[in-house]
Chain A
Amino acid sequence: MLMKLRFLYFLVFAPICLFSQVRFVKDTIQSQGDSVVVTATRSERKLSNVTVPVTIINAKSIQQIGALRLTDILKEQPGLSMTSGFGAGVQLQGLNPDYTIILINGEPLVGRTAGVLDLNRIALGNIKKIEIVKGPSSSLYGSEAMAGVINIITDATNKTPLQSSLRYGTYNTIDAGLNNTLASKSILYQGYYNYYSTDGYSIRPSTASRVTTPITRVATNQQFKYNLSNNTNVRVGMRFTNEQIKNELSVTNGGLTINSNGEEKNTDYNIASSLNHRFSNSLKTSFRSYITQYNATQNLLTISGAPYTDILDHVFNRLENQTDWVVNKKLTAIVGGGAVMEGVKSSRYDSEKIRKTNTNQYAFSQWEWTHNAKLILIGGIRFDQNQTYASAWSPKASMLYKINKQHRIRLSIGQGFKAPDFRQLYLNFTNAAAGSYSVFGTAQAQKVIGQLNILGQIGTLYNNFYQLKSLQPEYATGTHLTWEFEPNAKNNFSFQLFRNDIRNLIEVQQVGAYITGAQIYSYLNIGRAFTTGFEIEAKHQISKEFSISTAYQYLQTGDKDQIAQIKNGIVYTRDANGLSRKLNVSEYVGLPNNSTHKAQLKFNYSNQNGLFGNIRALYRSKWAVNNTNGNEVFDDGDSFAEGYIALHLSIGKDYMNGLGFQFGCDNMLNYIDALNLPNLPGRTFFATLKIQKSKKI
């Protein structure tokens, strides 16, 4: 596969190189409204001058599709899909939610459950834009930025003094938002408040438990900017969210059904402050501090009266400096460094009262060379030094080549990493409800199991128990090659090849057994995997009002060790008569939850009088969900979720006097798959009323 890709690269590249030598075209690439992006280089750059693939979602498109939560908008982006265990996480180019870092104004969100950050936590009401960088970006952002970066940028410079909206929809879903801005010469204040509640829904027949449980969320975001002088300013941003979820669970295990009910409460706050100073036009620096905490508490009471409590409390504090230096006309540098103090308390560790802590120091540097109007080269590297796991180097190199007015090539090669998380280091969990198996994090596994052994509780220890050692980060090497073609202002087209090779994957492995036979698990760096494919995007402006856009992604994934096992003939399946036979490599489908084909088609209408409408069709082909035949690899004989199309519609009108209406229908075809798509309710409707005071300030 890699060979194939290399060949493709060559095919795409060779003619372009030849072509570029014979033609010299003045660089005039200036797309209309060339956007400014910050995530790709940690500094403001025009999108047309960025060397890595970046997608921008602006406030207008968020509003026009009627998206409320971050999940609503991300699920409609090419190359992204949503997962449904432990909330709604995002999967980027076939890599699981743990491998994408989610930033708010450049600062990371914390509070992952089993590696998944529930993106329903983030309200979109005051968002200016969302930037998505695909490909390893650890050279700038460190751990988790292995598949890519999603940066949510809130609107601190909103010139609208007062905006409010009220939305009502199916399942008694209410969303109310208020955004106000106050500004003087030196002070800018912006406050955002959001309330969301829903009754939830049950799409499984004959069950009381709801797929989406009744939930109430409140969120606020306060931002201050104070200009101390023309060259110095202070910014403070505070975010707080709280969600309360009613749980009515019904768990069936071995024919025994246990009903329980209770409440889940998740709170999340963060405070980001920065002092920014510009020494001259060529030198500026920024000191930032970031404090965040996420607390999740689940209190359940089973019908028999037995209580169950699950607590997770994560704090993350960071101090950082970044200095931007324009060395000369051609060379720009960014140098930065910082320190992180992180800690987690959990009822699944040995003691829920003691916070497990970890510190990380890092330094990064990036150099940007503008060779001429056509060629930009960037090289960067970051070093992360950690207290509890091995340190990591993250290099990255990228380039942009503007062949001529119409064609651009971007190429990036980088290494990303993901640090072992607290659960992999400190978990100390015995599941009394399911056979009393235990899982121990590597920081303690040998000690704890050793003690149990002295007490005579251990039956067997496997060879890999003696191989347990301090975990290494997981690494990925990613290559992205993008060709963009913009024949004129009305049409644009892009084609991207990508390949990610992941090594050192941390996997749960049985390392021994109790004398009772119950399993003992821990974590080892053993897995190797890859994701590869291509993405095509095209947009056409039919008329001043109408536009059409389409995108397609082809994706192949796989576990390299499993492929080797299949080739060695030690993986089995059954033939049509139920008799065992060896599995063929062609029957292997790769990693679960990944669709080979994803496509979308969107029509958009928007006129000068404020009338807008859109219809969006999103298709996803079948994906493997469950290894039903028990051979430990996903193949044609396993269970799949069927491919489907989701069709969404939204229409609205914004009046000059600040009044606005919007109506929408999501999932018009009423596609339901209760088992595999619990986050997709049937057809739902909504109506929104907006009022804004549009006086200029």
Chain B
Amino acid sequence: MRQILKTSLLLLTLSSILFSCTKDETTVALPVTAITVSNLPADTVLGINKITGRPFSAGKYTFFSLERNAIVPNTDSASTQWDLAFAGSKILTNGGTSGTGLGGAFIYTGLFDDVKTISNDSVFKTDNAPASFAVTFGSGKGWYVYDQLTSLITPLAGRVLVIRTASGKYAKVEIINYYKGGVTLPITASDSDKLSKQRYYTFRYAYQPNGSKTF
């Protein structure tokens, strides 16, 4: 399956190159540039509940627009203003049970730069809370692993979140880090640091504004 996907990607890429070469000077899509977002807070930990011993937070998502590269106020959560919403290790897309947009996603295994064109047979999943999410939730299942021994979250290398935005356009996202400052804490860091410095996303993305599936 992966092989087929790769081959079709390769063919598509090749054909687009050939195509653009033959019809000189008529290329429409400019290559999109990758943007890096640093330290995006995602429902950060506020403290520890003295009775249950569990960390607590405000329980609010951070809404983000890929189109405008900006945080969207929570008051606009019921709109198509946002494309991704972050809370802890959970990432929502603006569609399905999560929003009113056309949003969806799938996780591609491979490199960010290798996602040049989204093949037509790619299936975008939509959020279907609480059973499933377009960006699969859980350690080792989606974009990260959680280590029980060290209590650290590490984004998996070679995972690209291929996103359909609220307005039906396409973007690709690579999560780089989950900790404040963009550096995963050492395993020896104190428990309080591990709690207070987590839930800060660093990621890079490329957004194609023209609606095509080519980056």
User: Which positions in A face B, CB cutoff 8 Å?
Assistant: 252-257, 434, 517, 570-574, 577-582, 626, 628-631, 639, 675
Contact = CB atoms under 8 A, between A and B. Distances in A.
Q: 9 nearest interchain CB pairs?
A: A572-B158, A630-B145, A572-B157, A578-B176, A580-B157, A255-B55, A630-B156, A580-B158, A574-B157
A579 B176 contact: yes
A547 B201 CA distance: 60
A653 to B, nearest CB: 44
B195 A629 contact: no
Contacts of B138: 517
Nearest to A252: B151
Contacts of A626: 147, 149-150, 187
Contacts of B55: 255
Interface size class of B (residues with CB under 8 A): 35 or more
17 contacts: A254-B151, A255-B48, A255-B53, A255-B151, A255-B195, A256-B53, A256-B54, A257-B53, A570-B109, A571-B158, A626-B147, A628-B187, A629-B154, A630-B144, A630-B145, A631-B156, A631-B158
B157 A631 contact: yes
Nearest to B184: A628
A637 to B, nearest CB: 8
Given A256-B53, A578-B182, A580-B159, 19 more contacts: A254-B54, A255-B53, A255-B55, A255-B195, A257-B53, A434-B148, A572-B158, A579-B174, A579-B204, A580-B112, A581-B157, A582-B158, A626-B150, A628-B147, A628-B187, A630-B157, A631-B158, A639-B150, A639-B187
A441 B39 CA distance: 45
B150 A580 contact: no
Given A255-B54, A256-B53, A257-B53, A582 B154 contact: no
Nearest to B111: A580
A257 B195 CA distance: 14
B151 A578 contact: no
A620 to B, nearest CB: 20
B178 to A, nearest CB: 11
Contacts of B151: 252, 254-255
Contacts of A577: 176
Among A254, A579, A675, the one with the most B-chain Cβ atoms within 10 Å of its Cβ is A579
Contacts of A253: 148
A532 to B, nearest CB: 28
Nearest to B146: A254
A631 B157 CA distance: 7
Contacts of B111: 572, 580-582
Contacts of B112: 579-580
A255 B202 CA distance: 23
A630 B176 contact: no
Contacts of B110: 572
A582 B195 CA distance: 31
Interface of B: 2, 48, 52-55, 109-112, 131-132, 138, 140, 144-145, 147-152, 154, 156-159, 174, 176-177, 182, 187, 191, 195, 202, 204
A675 B187 contact: yes
Contacts of A639: 150, 187
A434 B149 CA distance: 13
A520 B90 CA distance: 23
Nearest to B52: A256
B149 A630 contact: no
Nearest to B131: A517
A370 B176 CA distance: 66
B19 to A, nearest CB: 27
Contacts of A580: 111-112, 157-159, 174
B173 to A, nearest CB: 12
A253 B156 CA distance: 21
Contacts of A581: 111, 157
A201 to B, nearest CB: 20
B113 to A, nearest CB: 9
A570 B149 CA distance: 27
Nearest to A459: B131
Contacts of A628: 147, 150, 152, 154, 187
Nearest to A434: B148
A630 B144 CA distance: 8
A258 to B, nearest CB: 9
A579 B113 CA distance: 10
Contacts of B131: 517
Nearest to B48: A255
A475 B142 CA distance: 35
Contacts of B174: 579-580
B175 to A, nearest CB: 10
Given A257-B53, A580-B111, A630 B140 contact: yes
A579 B182 CA distance: 11
B157 A573 contact: yes
A571 B156 CA distance: 10
A570 B109 CA distance: 8
Nearest to B157: A572
A580 B149 CA distance: 24
A253 B148 CA distance: 7
Contacts of A570: 2, 109, 158
A511 to B, nearest CB: 16
A136 B151 CA distance: 40
Nearest to B152: A628
B7 to A, nearest CB: 14
Q: Which of A574, A577, A578 has the most CB of B within 10 A?
A: A578
Nearest to B56: A255
A434 B139 CA distance: 12
B188 to A, nearest CB: 8
Nearest to A253: B148
